[in-house]
Structure 1
Amino acid sequence: MTDILFTLYPWIKALHIMAVISWMAGLFYLPRLFVYHVEQAGTVDGAGAIFEVMEEKLLRVIMRPAMIVSWVCGLILVLTPGIVDWSWVWPWTKGVSVIAMTWFHHWLALRYKAFAAGENALTGRQYRMMNEVPTVLMVIIVLSVILKF
């Protein structure tokens, strides 16, 4: 099993990076769609329905699969012997940040459901502020992995 993990390591790592990029793109874009949904949907007849289709497709077709592949590949990488030294701080900061990013993903999915039910209670400004959450988490994750503090 260890031989297979070492052989596949660069491929799993490459797939992990591609999945994370896709997931992050969605995490950055969906709150922005929510901003436009709140601020513009009432100005054009039928625009709200168009935003809901865009939001649902982004969540279901891009973000969810990318998150799952990110998690699966990440766990495989963590299970590869000799890759992670748990006595360091960086795997813990990355792990906590990835869990927070997953929570944010689910929070966004709940916001989508609120829009679809006509129950959105947040403003464009609030969604703009929430748009910074994945940026902060990304900075923590990248610094943790690269600098290995």
Structure 2
Amino acid sequence: MLWVKVLHILFVIAWFAGLFYLPRLYVNLAQAADPTTYDTLLGMARRLYRFMTPLAILALAFGLYLWLGYGLGRGQGWMHVKLLLVLLLIVYHLACRHYLQAFARRANAHAHRFYRFFNEIPVLILLLVLVLVVVKPF
């Protein structure tokens, strides 16, 4: 079970690396005036999203295996909140896809400042999850 935990943590870290970088690409895309730069950034964003989606699936799969195997969280409030935050992270990942598709259609509706704030959401979720897992406040 410890190897599963190692794999879960590894894939969570890798997924978060993508979640931290992709919105930063969106900031640059929203500011790009040159079509060549735009196309380069769009290609980078597409490849990153394609790469990070399997990482997310693996992180979630190993996490589910741990949750079912250890029986963690049954009757523990911190785990229920953590699972809610994981659900929010999945929604965030899907929102990244939505914005990527808008950039691909050249139909972005947001300024670069929006993506700067959007970029901070996974940082806050990660902080909350870490507090819940380490401190187990309730």
TM-score normalized by the length of structure 2: 0.95
2:41 counterpart letter in structure 1:
F
Match 1:134 to one of 122, 131, 134: 122
Deviations 1:92-132 (A, max 9, x none): 11100000001000001110000000100011000001111
Aligned to 1:102: 90
Shift of 1:85: 3.7
User: Stretches of 4+ moved more than 6 A in 1?
Assistant: none
Q: How big is the alpha-carbon RMSD for the aligned residues of Structure 1 and Structure 2?
A: 1.0
Shift of 1:12: 0.7
Aligned to 1:50: 40
- SS of the residue 1:14 aligns to: helix
**8 A Cα contact 2:67 2:73, kept in partner:** no
Structure number, greater radius of gyration: 1
- SS of the residue 2:26 aligns to: helix
- Partners of 1:84 and 1:12 lie apart in 2 by 14
Match 1:33 to one of 25, 30, 40: 25
Shift of 1:86: 1.6
- Partners of 1:64 and 1:117 lie apart in 2 by 21
1:77 partnered with 2:66: yes
Identity of aligned residues (%): 34
1:68 partnered with 2:57: yes
Match 1:119 to one of 99, 104, 107: 107
Aligned to 1:3: none
| Structure 1 alignment gaps of length 5 or more | 1-8
TM-score normalized by the length of structure 1: 0.89
Aligned to 2:4: 12
TM-aligned CA distance change 1:145 to 1:48, over 3 Å: same
| Structure 2 alignment gaps of length 5 or more | none
